[in-house]
């Protein structure tokens, strides 16, 4: 038994292994179908609740979400939360992503933030649940503890998630209760979608039973990429599938027990209990999908296409049905969904493939890059400190302010006319002194700036916490490693007019130094060597030269908590995005991407690396 009452949140598993919540409206829609039991058909058309999710169907029998235009599958689950928590009050916490839109936090993160907010805490540290972020409620900002990068966050009210009462099942299964299976079927609908389903069922009945069984092959696993996935909530993208889950197709009719949401990703199908118009009331069983051979599946596809054309619904042609290709698992999946009386009519094309690496390249084909000396850079241990006190460093960048303006210091959030509110180790400077940064003009307590400098890299540089203007030369805490770069004779998608620059980063595991989060503790280095790609164009070579400066300044990587796996004390990317897919863009880290070079130049500039930096390095 679980709680006597709870709110239900339906969630889907993204490619990074994190459960992302559907919006309250979509969760209400899914829950309504789940409570209706088998008489509702066992499938949920998400586009009926949110038009942006039109390609998606959830099969409640197998607890999987199916994307019709790619044939890919993701697990879903039904989670229970306390009615007094954030989802029970309709509270949604979101962070602003790089494109300026808002992305909801995972449900457990949002609940943690809301709990601290209700207790009127000034901030909440998310490291206790595996994230290196601090949420500051005064500024409504998210601060990365490693890089000090800030993002805006917001709290908004939405619909309350569905409430359930009484005895709750331990398993997340369907039907919701044993008695639901005995409910009478609803009358057949005459819309084009239901006509399509009925025609497919009639085709299955006409084919008769067969002894052939369709088995599908297991798909290779896909390594996780840096996160860009968003939850299907207002203002966010619908969940894009990256991997095709392929497993044996098994009829559900023989399964009497309930299915756990976290079961092995296999798609199961069964014929509906509802009889098509004109059918007799006899008890003869219909053949399940697992009894159909290739010719029967092709016949199903043809029948499906005919109904689609007749009903005026746009179609996506099915290709390569006669050969051995990835379309067969996709076709089996969509047919299984249609057999369980779900609604959106499409025909499938071949699912896209993930292409991480180029074709094999021999050593004789690899070329050095004109205008760039050598083909390899190494970094060793941290550079020696400047030997100046924090006060001496700040004196170069600050102007004293005798009459502070009537505003808050954005570091301690106290009035500038009052002493600093910093409560940590006290610097050797008066807490009521105020200074203005020379370039940007922002004003702070000197006490606060010294404390911020002492908590950073202490490399002689300073970054304005308000506008991120950099004073001096910013360096990072990247551990020792090697960066290789050369030209290979293959073109990237969208850059067919030039060859490709390949960058190979290699960082071994080791022990953290005094500049790292946990000095003396070992750190891991997952996924190395990491291969990245740039077009060998004029702008691509410019980006490479600036990346070399970033590497020398130890700004490409850092040690922290992985947002992909949640692992702490590991090597992570440091706010400069790289393209790690060579021939596709399924994860968002590949080509074509017409804005990538401009975006990465802006990210480098945010780290203080511009064309002026190239001249500084030469000097």
Q: What is the mean pLDDT of the chain?
A: 74
| pLDDT tens digits, one per residue of 576-585 | 999 999 998 8
The CB density around residue 77, as the number of other CB atoms within 10 Å, is 15
> What pLDDT, on the 0 to 100 scale, is given for residue 347?
43
37 pLDDT band, cuts 50/70/90, is: confident
CA 170 vs CA 1, 13, 78, 79, 260: distances in Å: 6, 20, 11, 10, 9
Question: In the structure encoding, which two tokens stand for residue 574, read together?
Answer: 């440091």
Please classify residue 527 by burial: count the beta carbons closer than 10 Å to its beta carbon, then call 0-12 exposed, 13-18 middle and 19+ buried: middle
Q: What sign does the dihedral 457-463-464-468 (CA atoms) show?
A: negative
Q: Phi first, then psi: give them for residue 597, nearest 5 degrees.
A: -60, -40
Q: How far, in Å, CA of 195 to CA of 307, rounded? A: 8
Look up tokens 């389903």; give the residue.
197
> What pLDDT, on the 0 to 100 scale, is given for residue 51?
83
| pLDDT tens digits, one per residue of 66-120 | 877 666 788 899 998 888 999 999 999 999 988 788 999 999 999 999 999 999 9
Residue 460, H or E segment: none
Where does 181-245 have alpha helices with state H? Answer: 192-207
| pLDDT tens digits, one per residue of 156-183 | 999 999 988 765 554 444 444 433 333 3
CA proximity to 578, closest of 554, 544, 609? 544
The CA-based angle 557-229-340, given to 5 degrees, is 150
* Averaged pLDDT for residues 278-307: 45
Asked if 572 and 524 count as a contact pair (C-beta separation under 8 A), the reply is: no
């Amino acid at each position: 038994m679980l709680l006597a009452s709870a709110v239900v949140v339906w969630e889907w598993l993204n490619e990074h292994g994190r459960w992302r919540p559907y919006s309250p409206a979509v969760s209400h829609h899914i829950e309504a179908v789940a409570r209706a039991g088998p008489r509702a058909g066992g499938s949920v058309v998400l586009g009926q609740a949110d038009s942006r999710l039109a390609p998606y169907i959830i099969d409640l029998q197998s607890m999987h979400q199916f994307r019709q235009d790619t044939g890919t599958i993701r697990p879903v689950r039904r989670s229970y939360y306390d009615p007094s928590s954030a989802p029970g009050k309709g509270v949604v916490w979101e962070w602003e992503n790089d494109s300026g839109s808002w992305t909801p936090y995972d449900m457990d993160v949002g609940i943690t933030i809301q709990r601290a907010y209700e207790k009127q805490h000034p901030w909440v540290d998310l490291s206790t649940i595996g994230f290196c972020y601090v949420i500051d409620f005064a500024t409504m900002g998210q601060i990365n503890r490693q890089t000090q990068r800030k993002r805006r966050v917001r709290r908004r009210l939405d619909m309350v998630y569905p409430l359930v009462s009484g005895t709750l099942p331990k398993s997340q299964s369907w039907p919701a209760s044993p008695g639901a299976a005995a409910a009478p079927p609803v009358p057949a609908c005459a819309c084009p979608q239901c006509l399509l389903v009925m025609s497919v069922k009639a085709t299955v009945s006409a084919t008769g039973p067969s002894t052939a069984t369709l088995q599908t092959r297991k798909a290779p696993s896909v390594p996780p990429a840096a996160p860009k996935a968003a939850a299907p909530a207002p203002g966010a993208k619908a969940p894009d599938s990256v991997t095709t889950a392929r497993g044996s197709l098994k009829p559900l009719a023989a399964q009497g027990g309930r299915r756990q949401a976290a079961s092995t990703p296999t798609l199961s199908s069964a014929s509906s209990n509802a009889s098509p118009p004109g059918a007799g009331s006899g008890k003869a069983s219909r053949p399940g999908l697992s009894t159909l051979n290739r010719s029967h599946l092709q016949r199903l596809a043809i029948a499906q296409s005919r109904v689609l054309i007749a009903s005026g619904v746009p179609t996506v042609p099915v290709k390569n049905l006669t050969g051995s290709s990835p379309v067969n698992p996709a076709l089996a999946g969509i047919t299984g969904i249609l057999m369980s009386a779900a609604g959106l009519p499409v025909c499938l094309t071949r699912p896209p493939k993930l292409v991480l690496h180029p074709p094999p390249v021999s050593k004789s084909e690899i070329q050095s890059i004109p205008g760039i000396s050598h083909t390899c850079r190494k970094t060793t241990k941290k550079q020696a400190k400047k030997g100046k006190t924090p006060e001496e460093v700040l004196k170069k960048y600050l102007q004293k302010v005798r009459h502070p303006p009537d505003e808050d210091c954005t570091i301690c959030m106290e009035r500038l006319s009052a002493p600093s509110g910093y409560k940590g180790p006290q610097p050797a400077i008066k807490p009521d002194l105020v200074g203005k940064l020379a370039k940007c003009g922002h004003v702070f307590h000197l006490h606060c700036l010294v404390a911020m400098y002492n908590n950073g890299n202490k490399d002689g540089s300073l970054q304005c916490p308000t506008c991120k203007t950099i004073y001096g030369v910013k360096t990072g805490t990247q551990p020792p490693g090697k960066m290789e770069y050369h030209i290979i004779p293959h073109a990237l998608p969208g850059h067919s007019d030039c060859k490709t620059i390949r960058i190979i980063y290699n960082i071994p595991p080791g022990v953290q130094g005094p500049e790292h989060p946990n000095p003396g503790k070992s750190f891991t280095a997952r996924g190395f060597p990491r291969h990245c790609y740039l077009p060998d164009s004029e702008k691509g070579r410019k980006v490479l030269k600036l990346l070399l400066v970033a590497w020398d300044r130890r700004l490409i990587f850092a040690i922290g908590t992985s947002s992909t796996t949640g692992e702490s004390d590991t090597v992570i990317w440091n706010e400069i995005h790289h393209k790690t897919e060579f021939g596709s863009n399924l994860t968002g880290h590949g080509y074509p991407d017409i804005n990538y070079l401009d975006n990465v130049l802006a990210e480098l500039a945010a780290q203080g690396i511009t064309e002026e930096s190239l001249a500084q390095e030469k000097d």
